[in-house]
A and B are shown apart, each in its own frame.
Chain A
Amino acid sequence: MKTANYKNMILHIILISFILLTIYPIVFAISNSFKELSEAFTSTLSLIPEKFTLENYTGLFDSIPIVGITINTLITASVITVAKVATSFLAAYAIVYYQFKFKNVTYFALICTIFIPFTVTMIPNYLIISELGLQNNIWGVILPQMADAIGIFMLTQSMKGIPKSLIEAAKLDNIPTKYIMKDHILPMVKPAVTSTSIWFFILAWNEYVWPVLILKTTENFTLPLALQLYISSEGGTNFTVAMALSVITMAIPLGLYLIFQKHIINTFTTSGIK
């Protein structure tokens, strides 16, 4: 019994340390975003501000077009997510339910693109976007990201789990393909659609390297780029404002999570059961 207790204790200590390691930076950011600059420099690690101030947030509104930047980020992340899920869904449907020549080769080639590093396609993509005149435009950020083989893979796997006879039953009943997709496939792969959507949204929301290449002026920035303004040498002294911006950057995905929480948790608990 005793050794079991010790084991339990050690396990809990490890778990609690992990929780602290994960949560601390967040709490750190929140707390410093409400400190005055001088206090932030003298007692950086203290969690409760001695003098509570909103100056950092109001300052943010004065120095950069924060509302526009947030909207840019929302549009970018949402359009990328919707586009990726839509293209993945259609591709997966074709792969699972249609018979065509070179199907397996096509699928294999699609999946292979997962293993191509971003840096390889970065320059060709950049040149194409420049040619299209989409530089310094969020659509230049969005366009190369409207399809993703990971999404195709996830949805293909999920659709393969649907018994073929269900689709055959619908076909026998003269149901057009668009309704088979909408009425049957979509509800049945909803858990996979939700989890890949979350994944795509977070990736797009946090994306940095590609937008940095495309977006040049502050009013076109996304939130991670704006954050960079305060970490680089230009705004490096404005540490507390950077923290305020960090809080805004993480608040929106968190807020969305809270709104859809019930739905998302349902997804993760039911997806394993067929």
Chain B
Amino acid sequence: MGTIKLESINKSYKDTKVIENLNLTINKGERLVLLGPSGCGKSTLLRIIAGLEEINSGSIQFEDKEMSHLSAGERNVAMVFQNYALYPHMTVEKNITYALKRNKVPKAEINKRLEKALDMLELQEYRTRLPKDLSGGQRQRVALARAIVKQTEYFLLDEPLSNLDAKLRVSARQSLLHLHEEFKHTFVYVTHDQVEAMALGDRIVVLKKGEIQMLDTPENIYFKPVNVFTAQFIGSPPMNIFKASLEDKSLKIGETVIHLPENLRVRLLDYEKNEIYLGIRPEHMSISTTGLYDMTFNFVENYGSQYGVCLDFNRQECITVSNEKVKDKMVKVNFDLNHLHLFDIDTEENLIYS
């Protein structure tokens, strides 16, 4: 029990295609994060797994058992909603036990599960309160408790932390990790927050317009993005992408020649187009007096621990991070050559890692 397999899933609302021919296998006990901007179909995908949305075609299997024709109730998954979906007229205790009672779980068993969930999520003192008398964090924990007591293999979470403030989000994230350690559910987690995705995911699916852009570990997604979209979606500030020209196998941004290391030059041997995208993350650029490239200083953003320095490189904007506030009009910048990315000008695919 625990594997979820999606095969050639198609979903459209009237004429709008939301998900097109999607294949995805979610391993038993892993934490898989569906990440993407709003409208990319990540919530729809989760709701398809839960059985709350019907698919136009394709197959959904839970451990080799076809599920697509079963109703949401029959699939036996637990889900935490973005707005928690607590029953407003029921106390915390009733919210947690309601479904068990209606599904005729023996009373002693219900009580056992209730007490365990209340203890785990530190909700004992709130058991007789109504949801409206709870804070956001407490409500979120009740929603989790309600999901836990179902004791199912599959845990679906639809942006469960997005309504919490930043500080609470960090602690809630940790309690989610603990929860997963304890039960080893198959976690499918939807978020638009890349930090959350990085922190929680064993693997991350990056989605754009209903299509999977990349499915890999957080490290690979960060360091080896397969295309421009993934590269720019992950990381804050986002990766800088320069449009560069290729003349006689030398790469130029504006009039400046960029010196590529040998391993990258090899990649360009069979690239026949005249233009290419060069990508580099802000943290892999450094301002230094020995820098090779001259850039004009635009403005600076304060991030607290660091400054984001916005620069102009031959009329292309870019951003780097620095520990010191830059005041000069012209700065010299170095590139970390181990972290350069080259993307096809048309397909936007990474020429190094794809």
Tell me, yes or no, whether B77 is within 8 Å of chain A by CB.
Answer: yes
Across the interface, B87 reaches (CB within 8 A) one of A171, A174, A184, namely: A184
- Residues of B with C-beta under 8 A to A187: 89
Docked Cα-Cα span, A165 to B99, in Å, equals 15
Across the interface, B81 reaches (CB within 8 A) one of A169, A175, A188, namely: A169
Q: Is the CB of B79 within 8 A of A175?
A: no
Q: Is the CB of B79 within 8 A of A172?
A: yes
Q: Is the CB of A172 within 8 A of B74?
A: no
Q: Is the CB of A171 within 8 A of B72?
A: yes
Docked Cα-Cα span, A170 to B146, in Å, equals 11
Docked Cα-Cα span, A172 to B73, in Å, equals 4
Tell me, yes or no, whether B83 is within 8 Å of chain A by CB.
Answer: yes
Least CB distance from A269 to B in Å reads 15
Across the interface, B99 reaches (CB within 8 A) one of A163, A166, A168, A174, namely: A174
Q: Is the CB of A169 within 8 A of B85?
A: yes
Q: Which residue of B lies closest to A179 (CB)?
A: B102
* Dominant secondary structure at the B interface: loop
Q: Is the CB of B98 within 8 A of A183?
A: yes
Q: Which residue of B lies closest to A163 (CB)?
A: B83
- Given the contacts A168-B72, A187-B89, A188-B89, A173 and B83 also touching, CB distance less than 8 Å: no
Docked Cα-Cα span, A173 to B71, in Å, equals 11
**Count of A-B contacts with CB under 8 A?**
56
* Dominant secondary structure at the A interface: helix
- Given the contacts A168-B52, A175-B99, A163 and B85 also touching, CB distance less than 8 Å: yes
Least CB distance from B60 to A in Å reads 15
Type the 1/0 row for B43-87, where 1 means its CB is closer than 8 Å to any CB of A. Answer: 000000011100000000000000000011110111101110101
- Residues of B with C-beta under 8 A to A166: 85, 87-88
Docked Cα-Cα span, A188 to B83, in Å, equals 17
Q: Which residues, 113 to 163 on A, are CB-close (under 8 Å) to B? A: 163
Docked Cα-Cα span, A183 to B95, in Å, equals 11
Q: Is the CB of B52 within 8 A of A171?
A: yes
Docked Cα-Cα span, A198 to B58, in Å, equals 51
Q: B residues near A, CB below 8 A? A: 50-52, 71-74, 76-79, 81-83, 85, 87-89, 98-99, 102-103, 146, 150
Please list 26 pairs of residues, one from A and one from B, whose beta carbons are closer than 8 Å in the complex, sorted by A's number.
Answer: A163-B83, A163-B85, A165-B81, A165-B82, A166-B85, A168-B52, A168-B72, A168-B79, A168-B81, A168-B85, A169-B87, A171-B72, A171-B73, A172-B50, A172-B73, A172-B79, A173-B99, A173-B150, A174-B73, A174-B99, A174-B102, A174-B103, A175-B99, A183-B87, A183-B102, A184-B87
